[in-house]
Amino acid sequence: MGSSTYGITDIDCRHDVGRQNRDSAQVAKRSITKAMDLSVIGREHLLLLNVPKESPSDIVILSAVRSPITRAFKGGFKNAWPEDILAPVMAEAALRAKIETGDVQDVLIGNVLAELGFAKTGRMALLHAGFPTSTTFHTVNRQCSSSLQALTHMAHAIQAGQIDVALAGGVESMSKNYQSRGIPQDVGPALRNTKVKAAADCLMPMGITSENVARRYGVDRKTQDEYALLSHTRANEALAAGRFDAEIAPIEYPAYDNEAGETSQVRVAADDTIRPNVTLEKLAKLKPAFLEDGGSTAGNSSQISDGASAAILARRSWATERGLKPIARFLGTQVAGCEPDEMGMGPIYAIPRLYEHVGIEQKDVDVIELNEAFASQTLACINKLGLDVDRVNPNGGAIALGHPTGATGTRQLATLIAELGRRGEEIGVISMCASTGIGVASAIIME
């Protein structure tokens, strides 16, 4: 899709969305709502009596930005290393926050697959991006929720008085590292032969957990495909309308051709995961990916992808002293465990805990970014929680955009902040399931 200009390949895949797709998506949405018995929650006047008022000790977000997301092995970052994607995103996060790189005291990056947990190359990337040696660096792996956990840990560090300013984010190059650590190869005999079902199920392939959810919670193949169409159509419409532009930092990186012995600069300016012209008919033709009689396919599951994301957090008093205007306030995070063999249901436990923790109710929430690991679990969570499908992933989710595992949480944050700002609304929630049976949910309020 690229054109070569001055030696730079500009990958900027934008697609027009036809009327037929929009009409199909509306039919799909109505069918989903009927099939899953979704309750549409009316929007009432916002009453946040239990949410603390503004305080100098608040944790505020000064910026949230992401790279484009590209298809693993085929897309714009297929020749990039994770540090190539992350370094410019970290620098852009500081720039958008209107702070100096030296203001950032600590950095925490979520990563699932890279060698040595990305601890050493991540620190190298930080320094390569122009941050001083005084800015410290570490990584966290909580599977698909890694960067949301990074955000939470950094908020806690500020809250505890350890630091005033932090960068939290995530990165994943599934092109480089997809085969490395999805399922551990070195498992001792005690665990390999465990008789504890939940322990053994922690090694269950994610696709099988998706099929378990579909069967246990009554999500058939047709309904999964209908939701996938909705995700693809929403993402295409958002792309065509330029809604992702504000959250994306274009990335340039050096691509090495070992055979030719040459290096060229590649520029990636937009997501290349979003497929045009998706229809129910095309989705229905795809074969089940995990079980012969299953319902999860390549079309209704999240895409393996490459990408990075980052956010700057600070204590409100620190930002106020420097005349900086926060874009949002971090309200809190809750984590909950569930059965590993239906790990996709984690959000149904984490989200209610979050509401109780931060003092809000479902009716107060304007937009929910719910990670679409699979259509099966997304729909099951929507149904069990009684969510309004119109307020869940209004610009599409991981089925259409992709799921660069370590980066997804703060990617969702960047998308959520941009969408709430566009709508002029206030309360947003981010949630996802994670491998081994974990649900994570966080809430923000716009400033």
Marked catalytic residue, from 13, 153, 202, 403: 403
pTM (two decimals): 0.89
Residue 326 lies in a domain: yes
- Other beta carbons within 10 Å of 159: 15
Q: Indicate the DSSP class of residue 74.
A: T
Give the mean pLDDT of 329-358. 98
pLDDT digits (tens, 9 = 90+) for 314-333: 999 999 999 999 999 999 99
Backbone phi, psi, residue 419, to 5°: -70, -45
Helix, strand, coil fractions of the chain, as percent rounded to 5: 40, 20, 40
Would you state the structure tokens that stand for residue 332, as one six-digit string? 């809190």
Q: What does the alpha-carbon distance between residue 123 and residue 345 come to, in Å, rounded to a whole number?
A: 34
pLDDT of residue 4: 32
Model confidence at 95, pLDDT cuts 50, 70, 90, reads very high
Residue 287 lies in a domain: yes
Marked catalytic residue, from 144, 202, 338, 381: 144
pLDDT of residue 212: 98
Lowest model confidence (mean pLDDT) among 11-20, 209-218, 231-240, 367-376 = 11-20
Say whether 433 is catalytic: yes
Based on the structure, what is the number of domains in the chain?
1
Residue 330 lies in a domain: yes
Compare 441 and 19 and report the one with higher pLDDT. 441
Give the mean pLDDT of 373-397. 98
Report CA-CA distances (Å) from 167 to 144, 306, 391, 441.
19, 20, 28, 19
pLDDT of residue 257: 81
Select from 116, 242, 94, 250 the least CA-distant residue to 169: 94
Instruction: Answer yes or no: is pLDDT of 356 > 70.
Output: yes
Residue 47 lies in a domain: no
Average pLDDT of the chain? 91
Residue 45 lies in a domain: no
Say whether 338 is catalytic: no
CATH number at residue 10: 3.40.47.10
Q: What does the alpha-carbon distance between residue 181 and residue 210 come to, in Å, rounded to a whole number?
A: 20
Marked catalytic residue, from 13, 202, 381, 433: 433
3-state secondary structure of 298: coil
Would you state the structure tokens that stand for residue 56, as one six-digit string? 């100098």
Q: What does the alpha-carbon distance between residue 123 and residue 132 come to, in Å, rounded to a whole number?
A: 11
pLDDT digits (tens, 9 = 90+) for 222-281: 999 999 999 999 999 999 999 999 999 999 999 988 888 889 999 999 999 999 999 999
Compare 4 and 215 and report the one with higher pLDDT. 215
Give the torsion through C-alpha atoms of 360, 362, 365, 370, to 10 deg: 120
Range of the domain at 422: 3-40+52-446
Express as a percent the part of the chain with pLDDT over 90.
84
Q: What does the alpha-carbon distance between residue 102 and residue 165 come to, in Å, rounded to a whole number?
A: 10
Model confidence at 181, pLDDT cuts 50, 70, 90, reads low
pLDDT digits (tens, 9 = 90+) for 22-73: 555 565 555 555 555 443 333 344 444 477 789 999 999 999 999 999 999 9
pLDDT digits (tens, 9 = 90+) for 115-173: 889 999 999 999 999 999 999 999 999 999 999 999 999 999 999 999 999 999 999 99
Q: Indicate the DSSP class of residue 392.
A: B
3-state secondary structure of 337: strand
pLDDT of residue 362: 97
Residue 211 lies in a domain: yes
Residue 46 lies in a domain: no
Contacts of 288 (CB under 8 A, 6+ apart): 294, 295, 296, 297
pLDDT of residue 258: 81
pLDDT digits (tens, 9 = 90+) for 399-423: 999 999 999 999 999 999 999 999 9
pLDDT of residue 184: 78
Backbone phi, psi, residue 11, to 5°: -100, 105
pLDDT of residue 74: 96
Q: What does the alpha-carbon distance between residue 361 and residue 200 come to, in Å, rounded to a whole number?
A: 36
